[in-house]
Structure 1
Amino acid sequence: MQLTHYGHACVLVDTGSARLLFDPGAFSTGFESLTGLDAVLVTHQHFDHLDADRLTALLRANPDARLIVDDGTAEQLDGPEYETTAPGAVLEVAGARIEVVGNGDHAEIHRDIPIIRNNGYLVDDALLHPGDAYVPLPEGRDPVDTLLLPTGAPWLKAGDAVDYLRAMTPRTAVPIHEAVLANPAMHYGLFTNLAPKGTTVEVLDREKATTVRPLT
């Protein structure tokens, strides 16, 4: 599996059979020129996860790509064809199996801000993009090979992110959702120092494809 991080929550996942782009938002760059995508998947409606203006051009360059979103995001779209999905669904995309996971809610930012919908996406039982929530795996599942780990957000405390990392015990943790931080390296160091035994924290070079290898 190859991963390419385009900044913040935007990650291209190439499973070998499917090219899946997650969360092309306003804080991410470089994804605009991608072609050959099989699907664009959006975890939730916030602008840092979906830039509607650039999405139109992206889909035009990828006419066969499926746009897969939560129902809250669907209400924000005007023009592109899309599919809605929610936790409990299982999708097949170009040979990849994608489970929609979580309780369906974005993490609480503040009690006075309404909670919106959020989908976590589990790809081939190997990689989890949780969106903006500490999404657990379905009960009884083995740890994932790769966790895309939220690093900084209005809803996130670094210590809670460490606890989530420890609870998930992935083989590799890839920090994402870092654009709101002035110095994300401080959080990367915290994850590295406090990660559970057997977990490697791997910070991806921006816009560079990196191979992550499954457990053997």
Structure 2
Amino acid sequence: MKLTHYGHACVLMELPGDDGVIRFLFDPGGYARDFEHLVGIDAVLLTHAHPDHVDAERLGTLLAANPQAELVLNAHTQAALSGLRDIASGRTRVVGPRGTFVLRGVGVEVVGGDHACIHPSLPTVPNNGYIVDGGLLHPGDALDAAAGPVDVLLLPVGGPWMKIGEAIDYLRTMAPRLAVPIHQAGLAPVHQKMHYGLLRDLAPEGTGIAVLEHGVPQYVGTSQ
């Protein structure tokens, strides 16, 4: 498995398949960079409708350049992206928690349900987490524990809905082989480094922390 971090929650996952490499792109949002000209994408998976997770204009550009790509999202996000209805026509998959499906022979499980609470006065936003190939979890903006173990955890480390102590507890609960910090764009660089250091110091035994360089593919292997 290879991962490329395009900033914040946007990550490209590449898996070997029987007929070539399978490419899934998560959460191409407003804080991410350089994803809109990617080609060869098989699916774009959106966790929820917040603009830091989906930039509608650049998503349209991406879908136009990848006419074979399927768009995977929940009903709330689909409604928020009504302007893309034409370009995504015939290749949109609307899914919710506890759903499962297969894309290019790769199994995907939907977990979670709601965005983590920012404040009780704000409305709840539906949030999908995705477990791909039984091994990688992108939780979106929630720290919902999966029912079973995951090999690679894309771990949010900063946001108005969380604190780093919660990320550490989530990391310890999930205890993956490898955690990749994401959702970091709102943190100053000095705080990003501090959070990464805390994760390394407080990770459970056997869990590694891999901070990916922007736009640079990195092989992360798999325990499967």
Asked whether the two chains share a fold, i.e. TM above 0.5, the reply is yes
Deviation at residue 87 of structure 1 after TM alignment: 0.8
Q: Are residues 1:208 and 2:212 paired?
A: no
CA distance in 1, matches of 2:154, 2:41: 20
Mark the runs of 5 or more structure 1 residues left unpaired by the alignment.
Answer: none
CA shift digits 1:143-197 (9 cap, x unpaired): 2110000010000111011000000000000000000001311100010000000
TM norm structure 2: 0.93
CA distance in 2, matches of 1:88, 1:5: 27
CA distance in 1, matches of 2:136, 2:129: 11
Deviation at residue 96 of structure 1 after TM alignment: 1.1
Q: Are residues 1:99 and 2:124 paired?
A: no
Percent identical among aligned pairs is: 52
- For 1:152, the aligned partner's letter is G
Alignment of 1:21-170 (within 5 A): 21-77=25-81, 78-79=83-84, 80-81=87-88, 82-102=92-112, 104-138=113-147, 141=148, 143-170=149-176
Counterpart in the other structure of 1:179: 185
CA shift digits 1:77-114 (9 cap, x unpaired): 12332221001111111121110012x10000001111
TM norm structure 1: 0.96
- For 1:30, the aligned partner's letter is D
Deviation at residue 214 of structure 1 after TM alignment: 1.4
RMSD: 0.9
Higher fraction of strand: 2
CA distance in 1, matches of 2:64, 2:101: 23
Q: How many residues align?
A: 212
CA distance in 1, matches of 2:50, 2:216: 25
